[in-house]
A and B are shown apart, each in its own frame.
Chain A
Amino acid sequence: AQSVTQLDSQVPVFEEAPVELRCNYSSSVSVYLFWYVQYPNQGLQLLLKYLSGSTLVKGINGFEAEFNKSQTSFHLRKPSVHISDTAEYFCAVTYYGGSQGNLIFGKGTKLSVKP
């Protein structure tokens, strides 16, 4: 069965510092990958997704992620974070040919940006 591992449950970082949130998945087949963000008291919002093509994917709010098939990873990065980036971030995966109803989510990483 597919699974997603977000290695860090919490990541504290200072404002304007770079950040990387790690995501690894377990699959021997081609996959689709997603990052969602959840701000306090809100639902999830899509940040970016990888379906095919370039392995470097750019999303909203200055975030980007790189698909690395050999390492089965899809780490999320931002070169300079803001206080407003404080939120919980979820990585999700589904297999090639899957649907919206087959997304497997990680447990989430709470990003805390300090002034």
Chain B
Amino acid sequence: ETGVTQTPRHLVMGMTNKKSLKCEQHLGHNAMYWYKQSAKKPLELMFVYSLEERVENNSVPSRFSPECPNSSHLFLHLHTLQPEDSALYLCASSQDLSLASGSQFFGPGTRLTVL
């Protein structure tokens, strides 16, 4: 595998379920990100990790819980979601947080549907 991978690619869950999204990067990067992409809305940054420490949390509801056990893996744990949480969840990574050192590389996303 190369680049940034995400599993599962599609997920349907009920509002009482607990599930997790997984992201893995094979690029040796030190920063990782979770974004939410909803129809007709700008891409929303949810969480930023640098060297496995969370550095950004943009007022995301607590029903979304990120975890970064090492620099290659990033999880998004989901529980008691709402239908409006249905969206494409994108993971990205970059060498570090500096804009000068390179851009973000995105995974293909997980299409989440909350019933």
Residues of A within 8 A of B (CB): 4, 9, 32, 34, 36, 41-46, 49, 51, 90, 94, 98-101, 103-108
Contact = CB atoms under 8 A, between A and B. Distances in A.
Residue among A4, A94, A100, A104 with the most chain B CB within 10 A?
A: A100
Contacts of B45: 101, 103
Nearest to A92: B43
Contacts of B98: 99-100
Given A43-B106, A99-B97, A99-B99, 13 more contacts: A41-B108, A43-B108, A44-B90, A46-B104, A51-B99, A100-B33, A100-B48, A100-B98, A100-B104, A101-B55, A101-B56, A106-B42, A107-B41
A104 B56 contact: no
12 contacts: A32-B99, A36-B106, A43-B4, A43-B91, A43-B92, A43-B107, A43-B108, A45-B106, A51-B99, A94-B99, A98-B99, A108-B42
Contacts of A41: 108
Nearest to B101: A100
A85 B45 CA distance: 26
Contact of A44 (B41, B96, B106): B106
Contacts, number: 61
How many B residues touch the partner, as a band?
20 to 34
B100 interface: yes
Contacts of B90: 43-44
Contacts of A45: 106
A31 to B, nearest CB: 11
Of B33, B98, B103, B108, most A-chain CB atoms within 10 Å: B103
Interface string B8-23: 0000000000000000
Contacts of B97: 99-101
B74 interface: no
Contacts of B81: none
Contact of A34 (B31, B33, B103): B103
B44 to A, nearest CB: 8
